[in-house]
Amino acid sequence: MTGQRAVRQVLCGAQVFDGVRLLSGQVVVVEGGRIVAVRPDDLALPGDRVTLDGGIVAPGLIDLQVNGGAGEMVGAATDLAALRRLCAAHIGLGSAGILPTLITDTAEVTAQVLAAGIAAARAGVPGFLGLHLEGPHMDRARCGAHDPGLIRAMNADDLAMLCAAAAQLPALMVTLAPEAVSLQQIATLAQAGVVVSLGHSDCSYATARAAMAAGARCVTHLFNAMSPLGSREPGLVGAALDSDCVAGVIADGIHVGPATLRIACAAKPSGMFLVSDCMAFAGSDLTRIVLNGRVVRRESGRLTLTDGTLAGADLTLPQAVRVMVREVGLPPEVALAMATSVPAGVIGAAQTHGHLAVGRSADVIHLDADWRVGAVWHAGVSSQSTD
């Protein structure tokens, strides 16, 4: 349900997270779809006061791995209209900006989704920050729920298509395994502006570090579908924790245990961000979908193939923030940064997203004391949460 934009609104009654700090006694003033002030409260401030019942006012969250939502998956049926629906659904779930994510598919479907993303960028679709291609250039030994029959090495046509798309999208993230590409291909992608992320790989520590030196600067869903940290071979997990690369993590309490998350955050206190890795189930009552001919079931917070393999997450970013605070024990401002300013920085959007600052679009979320979405404002327009 969409509300009317007030001429001037003063959001008060909650703590304010500005992207870095958690502030008390502050208000956020919104006018004309933009933030005009973050300042100490004053009852004399002009505008319609929106009094919130505690909780935290924060920037709209940023999700860099969104496979689907509201009953739809990114895939063969994805066009401009589908991306509009997907972005709108996730705005209601608290994410002001997302990277719709295509998991391993054919070259034809990849080209179609890239074309839809370019159209969305040109149309200025609200909430669309670019695309994430998770595959198909991966290691079959670590395919997870991806169809191993569609995994393949990168060729010259793939490289040219990705570089051309990167020039037309606000951001393009590509998850790949070093085993499926050359170091020169990684360097070419990075030079073209692609955010190269390592994942679904059984590579060694040395191989991962070589890929990072070539231009890879991110790791996809840390700990999942990758070579683990060992006593003598640190693997991709060790390379992620022992480097300047940033790393996404699925904090649903299922993909990675709370103790493991605490260890990772201690090793990498400022280089991790939260992703939902959500599927079509997000924002819907679905209990099963078909993914590349295989059934994915939703049960007790888990999404699995029939053989029990995890197939994405039944998660939203506000829920992930709650896990990081309640189960992992992070300070709220650290957990919130992992869902706002840190991912915005990963895709070069820190000047427009992930912070509450004067002049920014009024993309704001209110989280209640239980970390549930209480209200959402997108460009100053309030809407009812679908959390």
pLDDT digits (tens, 9 = 90+) for 207-246: 999 999 999 999 999 999 999 999 999 999 999 999 999 9
**Ranges in the chain annotated CATH 2.30.40.10:** 8-58+355-383
**277 is annotated as an active-site residue:** yes
| pLDDT above 80 (res 356) | yes
Q: pLDDT tens digit string along 36-56? A: 999 999 888 888 999 999 999
Q: Nearest CA to 36 among 364, 376, 357, 352?
A: 357
The pLDDT, as a whole number, for residue 45 is: 87
The single residue of 202, 277, 363, 387 carrying the catalytic annotation is: 277
The pLDDT, as a whole number, for residue 283 is: 86
- What pTM was estimated for this model as a whole? 0.95
Q: pLDDT tens digit string along 22-39? A: 999 999 999 999 999 999
Residue 165, C-beta contacts closer than 8 angstroms, at least 6 positions apart: 114, 117, 118, 131, 172
Tokens representing 127 are: 């909430």
Q: pLDDT tens digit string along 189-209? A: 999 999 999 999 999 999 999
| CATH number for region 8-58+355-383 | 2.30.40.10
Strand partners, 34: 31, 361
**Ranges in the chain annotated CATH 3.20.20.140:** 61-346
Q: pLDDT tens digit string along 109-134? A: 999 999 999 999 999 999 999 999 99
The pLDDT, as a whole number, for residue 2 is: 46
| CATH C-level class of 61-346 | alpha beta
Mean pLDDT across the chain, nearest whole number?
94
Q: Nearest CA to 194 among 66, 75, 359, 346?
A: 346
